[in-house]
Each structure stands twice: as structure tokens, then as C-alpha cells.
Amino acid sequence: MAGFLVALLWLASILIFLWIWDDATRRHGQNIGCLWALAVLALGPIAIIAYFLFGRSEN
């Protein structure tokens, strides 16, 4: 059961990483999308919360 949970979390993290990369790229351009994706990869949930607070702005 623990292996299934680990695999599920691993798959979810990859999907969130790709979604943030795509969303940030569409909103701010390729370089900023890549930076947000790398921040999510490095910092995990903290960067995801920061993206929802600051990265989704249109300016």
C-alpha cells in the first residue's frame, strides 16, 4: 500500500510540475515559465503555494 501511495504522489508531482510550466509559459513567456517550474521542482509545496499567490497575476 505504501508503494502505491509513493507512486501516486510521484505521478501527481510530475503533473503539477508540467501544469505550472505550461500555465506560467502561457502567461509570462518561456523564461518565466521555466523558472517557476524549476522553483516548483526544487521547493515543492512552498513554491506551488507561492505560484498560486504571486505567479498567476496578469501583469
For 5-56, the pLDDT digits (tens) are: 989 988 988 899 899 999 888 888 888 888 888 888 888 889 888 888 888 7
- Please report the pLDDT score of residue 55 as a whole number: 80
Site of grid cell 501511495: 5
